[in-house]
Structure 1
């Protein structure tokens, strides 16, 4: 329930204001992908608290510091900080239940967390809840960087995930957040409507 409260607060703040992405998002995304701790990445570069502030956008890193962090993370090509609506073709594959194509889509994302988001959705659809749980652990740490479209998609599958474990209240709460976002950004999501219909029936 604590994670849901965080998700709810994040969502309502994002519905009124969507902050731009910053280099810290790239750093955190790659660090989590490589399974490095803050202190492991910061070693010989900066102190851990500075790195933490860079990742959260509370400290503007110098170009030299950023290049050292990128080098240690082996980031050769810095992804664009503009989040396009890359989810549209993914949604179509989900609606068609085309899980093979969905799995192949993993390779075409700018950020590692986006590939994990696809893997999470695919795991839930395949009822592979062990794999889904692994993705949740990383995705929870990247929520602050997700676009509203990504959050809406994530919450929808969190709802389906918790329904599978008969966690009705959590499922309902995440469905509700997903619905709130979909309404705000005027997104038609048949899978969300189907999930809500299944929940209420």
Structure 2
């Protein structure tokens, strides 16, 4: 009589273990799906903030070489303030992105996250220069970098707006802009070895 009880107990434990594993697997898949969905939502938010940042940066560039009068200074102040605010919003959303949850697209998500953080670093570095100089004067290299930032965010917004299946793949078309903005970008690409 003991053997049937032991066999029944072992069978019950086996069924419980299998059910528990299936439940955990389902919960994990649900968690991953939620993270992927959140990443896509955050990318949409980044694209909206990025579009606004690009528009204001274009205004800033248009007026940056004009004579320093009060009206131009006000336009530059307002444009730059919005650029920094949108950049801060983008950084917030980038902090929530989880590239590791994006399966085979994880390297592209990581590269996109890295690229946009480098843009944010560049903009904040430029802001420190403006504060130091007490003016918005920029050199030709900085103008080219700012134009690359505008192009980058316009391309991201376009990819998200067109509702492509994987808008994060826009990173593949941003290599030229990122090479202008970040001198270390080529070595990052080599490190990631994207297919």
Greater RCO, CA 8 A, separation 6+:
2
Quick check: which has more Rg, 1 or 2?
2
TM-score, normalised to structure 2, is 0.32
TM-score, normalised to structure 1, is 0.31
